[in-house]
Amino acid sequence: MILPLIGGIGWGEIVIIALIILLFVGGRKIPELMKGLGKGIKSFKEGINEGDGGPVKPDEQKQLKESSGQRNTEAK
């Protein structure tokens, strides 16, 4: 059974792509490559979570709009 993925790529194509990567990178470098990929994903998720302070309260939203409006009038 072939499960279509993004763009209609099936499992056969994924296996071929994996073999090509194995040929170019080499078997010994793959664990190092995956470790770097994992660190990058972890760093990306941490960066997203740092910026997520939760939903903005209506009072804070009003203050943000007022301060951005003041900046816009100062820039003109």
| Residue 32 identity | E
Does residue 71 or residue 8 have the better pLDDT? 8
- What does pLDDT average to over the chain? 76
| Residue 38 identity | G
Least trusted range by pLDDT, from 17-26, 37-46, 63-72: 63-72
- Please write the tens of the pLDDT for every residue from 45-67: 888 877 666 666 677 767 777 77
Helix 30-51 / helix 11-25 crossing angle, nearest 10 deg: 110
Threshold 0.75, pTM exceeds:
no
